[in-house]
Amino acid sequence: MTSLATQPAGRSRARRASAQEGGAVRSGMTLAAYLFLSPYLALFIAFMLLPTLAAIGISFMRWDILGTPEFIGLDNYRQIFADPLFLTAIKNTFYFVFLTAIPMVVLGLALAMLLDQKLKGTAFVRTVVFLPYVVMVSTVGILWGWLFDKGTGLVNYYLTTIGIEPVAWLKDPHWSMPALAITTIWWTVNTNMIIFLAALQDIPEELHDAATLDGAGPWQRFVYITLPLLRPAMALVTALTIINGWRVFGQAYVMTQGGPEASTFVIVQYIYLAAFQNFEMGPAAAAGVVLLLITLVFSLAQMKLMKAI
């Protein structure tokens, strides 16, 4: 009886002890996890979260950097939405996202599939395709500025050899944004390619072998095996491409300064001008918050769409 009575109590003690040990281990692991995360978290809080919160606060203030901020409610938002230049910037940035998003995803995937082949020299070609990524935006801008020059540029030289009249790429308001899109695709498509390449290499070879044995051709294998298994990578690439598209600045600033006739004037340049040329931090912060909301809405919509597919 005693033993019966004591047995459960002993087991219970053991369970408690084990639970305590488990708890200690778990809390130790939690602590370790936080410790590992802390360098990133500290930087994230200091350089992302706090400035973002500060920007939201400043968007309700009148402040020229030197003076004392003054609360003015929604006036900055009213000001930017009444400014035709801000509406032009939103329209232009949307056009840029439209021009770059699909080519960046499709071309990124196509390049990844090409470079996923086990052929001689693939590693070399991968390096060549990835090289533009390490070039600074100012260099990219100046280089493509030369390439797009109407009189002496290489782009027009090749176009005229196939009978196309020279285009004033960066000086014609109709062609300036496509020129920026082409530059951006050349410069950054490789990051999408790398993500797709990693995802392609995660697809087990056996699936393709089995499908081949069952008589599936390359197109069927691509549609029924590759594409479904690439869905998470596709979602990531599409989201990143759209977010980066909305945040475009460097290329426009170096190559066209927002012109001609404001045809390449984008939201981040509006923010830059308001903050660092006009020293109006309130409207600049308000425009920043609007950009944050736009990217948020686009990202959520895109994630929902990917889930639906």
**What is the binding site for other proteins (CB under 8 A)?**
64-66, 85, 88, 142, 145-146, 149-152, 168, 170-173, 254, 256-262, 265, 269, 273, 275-279
Rounded CA-CA distance 57/71 in Å is 9
Find the shortest distance in angstroms from Cβ 98 to other proteins: 20
Residue partners of 3: CB distance under 8 A and separation at least 6: none
Nearer to other proteins, 116 or 149 (CB): 149
Rounded CA-CA distance 123/139 in Å is 25
Find the shortest distance in angstroms from Cβ 246 to other proteins: 19
Q: DSSP for 199-239, please give it.
A: HHHHS-HHHHHHHHHTT--HHHHIIIIIHHHTHHHHHHHHH
Report the phi/psi class of residue 172: left, alpha or beta, with left for phi > 0 and alpha for psi in -120 to 50.
beta
Find the shortest distance in angstroms from Cβ 186 to other proteins: 18
Find the shortest distance in angstroms from Cβ 164 to other proteins: 14
Helix, strand counts (H, E) of the chain: 15, 2
- Give the strand pairing for 61-62 and 70-71: antiparallel
Find the shortest distance in angstroms from Cβ 80 to other proteins: 13
Task: Decide: 283 and 299 in contact? Cβ < 8 Å.
Answer: no
Find the shortest distance in angstroms from Cβ 263 to other proteins: 8
Nearer to other proteins, 167 or 290 (CB): 167
